[in-house]
Amino acid sequence: KNEVEQSPQNLTAQEGEFITINCSYSVGISALHWLQQHPGGGIVSLFMLSSGKKKHGRLIATINIQEKHSSLHITASHPRDSAVYICAVSSYGGSQGNLIFGKGTKLSVKP
Amino acid sequence: DGGITQSPKYLFRKEGQNVTLSCEQNLNHDAMYWYRQDPGQGLRLIYYSQIVNDFQKGDIAEGYSVSREKKESFPLTVTSAQKNPTAFYLCASSIGRLASRGETQYFGPGTRLLVL
């Protein structure tokens, strides 16, 4: 079983819809990261959080440490939000606590 | 502008050939990382370096080698021992030396390696 699981794997939405991507993990963590990978391949960090909730523009990330679960929400989705969204955790074990990545959720927003 | 650059964008390797992927950062970050991305899989750590002249193997280091002679540079060599090198390679960096503190990693644009 993967230590970081994301759902869904693929998501198609209409412009304007509210989108939720989920991430569950099974290891102890110091932080959880949400990353965005554009079709060209480059990755940008959206959020790093260890508790509660963070908001940036139309993006909201929440984490429940007790349930080992995080969600990424996109409000009023737009075609430019189309990308792969990756959940990653900084764990206490492993290679000096380096990031453990989920497989990503591919989001396509249709106009 | 501060950031991470990787070159080349595309790289072709012949059988038995070693190739080197470049990664340079001007963010003054101590830590640098190399990841491999395959379709349908999460990123996997190849090597990481927390300080100049020091580096550690990640989860899939076999067939790869690195050096860290300068703080700004962390080149990755894909050797002929790597039997399945076709993948997308991403370099990243972070401010501090311990990723377990949960610091943000900044990624380069990636290099796509293809075998001829």
Distance from CA of A18 to the nearest CA of B (A): 25
Hey, what are A69's tokens? 């679960």
- Nearest Cα neighbor of A39 from B25, B109, B76 is B109
Q: Would you say residue B105 has pLDDT above 70?
A: yes
Give residue A93's pLDDT.
61
A&B contacts, CB < 8 Å:
81
- The string of pLDDT tens digits covering residues B66-79 is 999 999 999 999 99
User: B8 is written with which tokens?
Assistant: 């080349």
Q: What is the mean pLDDT of chain A?
A: 92
The confidence score (pLDDT) of residue A109 equals 97
Q: Which of B114, B116, B115, B106 is nearest to B6 (CA)?
A: B106
CB contact at 8 A, B76 and A75: no
pLDDT for residue B1: 61
Residue contact A98–B33, C-beta within 8 A: yes
Residue A111 has pLDDT above 70, yes or no: yes
Using the predicted structure, report yes or no on whether residue B98 has a pLDDT greater than 70.
no
Contact A41 B88 (CB under 8 A): yes
**Three-state DSSP class for residue B108:** coil
CB proximity list for B84: less than 8 A, separation 6 or greater: none
Span A46-63, pLDDT tens digits: 999 999 999 999 999 999
- Using a CB–CB cut-off of 8 Å, the residues of A that contact B are 2, 4, 29-31, 33, 35, 40-45, 48, 50, 86, 88, 90-92, 95-104
Maximal C-alpha separation, chain B:
41
Residues of A in contact with B112 (CB under 8 A): 41
**pLDDT of A8 strictly over 80:** yes
Residue A36 has a pLDDT of 97
With beta carbons under 8 A apart, name residues in chain B contacting A97. Answer: 98-101
Radius of gyration over every alpha carbon of chain B, rounded to an integer in angstroms: 13
> So what's the pLDDT on residue B104?
84
Q: Do B99 and A44 touch (CB under 8 A)?
A: no
| Residue B73 DSSP label | B
Q: Which positions ≥6 away from B1 have C-beta within 8 Å?
A: none
Q: Is the pLDDT confidence value at B99 over 60? A: no
Sign of torsion over alpha carbons B96, B101, B104, B106: positive
Distance from CA of A58 to the nearest CA of B (A): 20
With cut-offs at 50, 70 and 90, classify the pLDDT of residue B40.
confident
Rounded CA separation B70/B81 (Å): 26
pLDDT single digits (tens) A13-46: 999 999 999 999 998 888 899 999 998 888 999 9
B55 inside 8 A of chain A by CB: no
Give the residue-averaged pLDDT of B105-115.
Answer: 93
Q: Which residues pair with B51 in a beta bridge?
A: B54
